[in-house]
């Protein structure tokens, strides 16, 4: 009987190839699962919106866990104000688009939004203080730079959205005609 055509050889070769394929797939899966994340962070709602402070500040694992916990706690604390602002802005929009807008109601809604925003800013300052307490003294300068860049980026985005010219291709409403250009 020819060795290469025997049942035992073919069965052994098939089993060996199956084991080899499963092993290769396992290695590929393991490499993909343990690959370091590079590039921009993946944005998922509020917790991962900003780049990890770990690399930028040189945080230890314990500090990184503390940062993550503090950020999650902060977002839970400001959630009621954020929800209130959303509702107030909807009311403000409804009132300002009504046929006869009430100036007093608009002023009251704007003031309420301001009070909620002030509460958020107070909580944010306390949050930054808590983050600074986690850092070593030599890390606090880097934390300040990161937070300043973050604040400048937020301000720039806000100015572009509300103060600048509309992006090309968007319709602009003029007070005189009310029509799109």
Question: Rounded distance, CA 76 to CA 36, Å?
Answer: 29
pLDDT tens for 120-165 read 999 999 999 999 999 899 888 888 888 888 777 766 665 554 455 4
DSSP state letter for 5? G
**Could you tell me what percentage of the chain is helix, strand and coil, using 3-state DSSP and rounding each to the nearest 5?**
70, 0, 30
- With cut-offs at 50, 70 and 90, classify the pLDDT of residue 49: very low
Is the model's pLDDT at 42 over the cut of 70?
A: no
Residue in the block written with tokens 């509460």: 119
The answer for residues whose C-beta is within 8 angstroms of residue 78's C-beta and 6 or more apart is: 120, 123, 124
Prediction pTM value: 0.57
Q: Which helix (H) or strand (E) holds 111?
A: helix 103-134
Q: Which helix (H) or strand (E) holds 20?
A: helix 7-33
Cβ neighbours around 150 below 10 Å, total: 12
Cβ-in-10-Å burial (0-12, 13-18, 19+) of 85 comes to: buried
40: left (phi > 0), else alpha (psi -120 to 50), else beta?
beta
Q: What is the pLDDT of residue 121?
A: 92
Q: What is the pLDDT of residue 179?
A: 46
Question: How is the chain split into domains, by residue range?
Answer: 56-158
- Mean pLDDT score, 17-41: 82
Show the CA angle centred on residue 147, arms to residues 145 and 150, nearest 5°: 110
Is the model's pLDDT at 172 over the cut of 50?
A: no
Return the CATH fold of 56-158. Answer: 1.20.120
- With cut-offs at 50, 70 and 90, classify the pLDDT of residue 61: confident
Least confident of 28-32, 66-70, 80-84, 148-152: 148-152
Is the model's pLDDT at 84 over the cut of 60?
A: yes
Helices assigned H by DSSP within 46-167? 53-57, 61-96, 103-134, 137-162
């Amino acid at each position: 009987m020819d060795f290469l055509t025997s049942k035992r050889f073919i069965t052994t070769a098939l089993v060996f190839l199956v084991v080899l394929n499963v092993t290769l797939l396992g290695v590929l899966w393991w490499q993909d699962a343990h690959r370091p994340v590079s590039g921009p962070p993946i944005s998922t709602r509020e917790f991962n919106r900003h780049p990890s402070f770990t690399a930028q500040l040189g945080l230890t694992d314990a500090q990184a866990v503390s940062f993550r916990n503090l950020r999650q706690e902060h977002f839970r604390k400001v959630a009621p104000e954020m929800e209130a602002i959303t509702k107030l802005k909807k009311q403000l929009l409804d009132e300002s688009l009504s046929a006869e807008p009430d100036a007093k109601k608009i002023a009251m809604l704007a003031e309420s939004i301001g009070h909620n925003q002030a509460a958020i800013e107070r909580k944010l300052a306390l949050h930054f203080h808590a983050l600074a307490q986690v850092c070593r003294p030599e890390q606090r300068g880097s934390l300040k730079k990161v937070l300043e860049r973050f604040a400048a980026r937020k301000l720039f985005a806000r100015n572009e959205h509300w103060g600048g010219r509309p992006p090309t291709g968007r319709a602009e409403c003029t007070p005189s005609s009310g029509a799109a250009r």
